[in-house]
Structure 1
């Protein structure tokens, strides 16, 4: 059983930049810029120097803004 278990993006608690770009249809560079603008945002989780985006909280953030 060498099949790697994959969890769909919409079930994950956190997403990498690459996963978030695919899920939200926002470019990776744009997401990195958003992260750099507010590195203490509630929707971010830091593991050392690697950032994870909390999917549900980032969805709420996107709902509140008019443009990305």
Structure 2
């Protein structure tokens, strides 16, 4: 079981973050150039449809986030 879990962790590390469908807040900040605080602020809004959770970890669905950004004049 431990070997299987370690193989999953290694597989996650091998894939570059720009190819993932869901990114952590830190990865999203690196990908978009938007600060982590601003991303978290946007995620707290009621109309946020680009966020998902895995237990306590929060992820950004990057396709929906980019679509959200493109629909805004300003953040």
Question: 1:48 aligned to 2:55?
Answer: yes
The one of 55, 61, 66 equivalent to 2:68 is 61
Higher relative contact order (Cα pairs below 8 Å, separated by 6+ residues): 1
Aligned to 1:23: 31
Instruction: Give unpaired runs (5+ residues) of structure 2.
Output: 1-9
TM-score in terms of structure 1 length = 0.81
TM-score in terms of structure 2 length = 0.74
Instruction: Give unpaired runs (5+ residues) of structure 1.
Output: none
Q: Could you say what the CA RMSD is over the residues aligned between the two structures, in angstroms?
A: 1.6
Structure with bigger helix share is 2
Alpha-carbon separation, structure 1, partners of 2:41 and 2:48: 13
Structure showing greater radius of gyration is 2
Runs ≥4 residues deviating over 3 A: none
Aligned to 2:42: 34
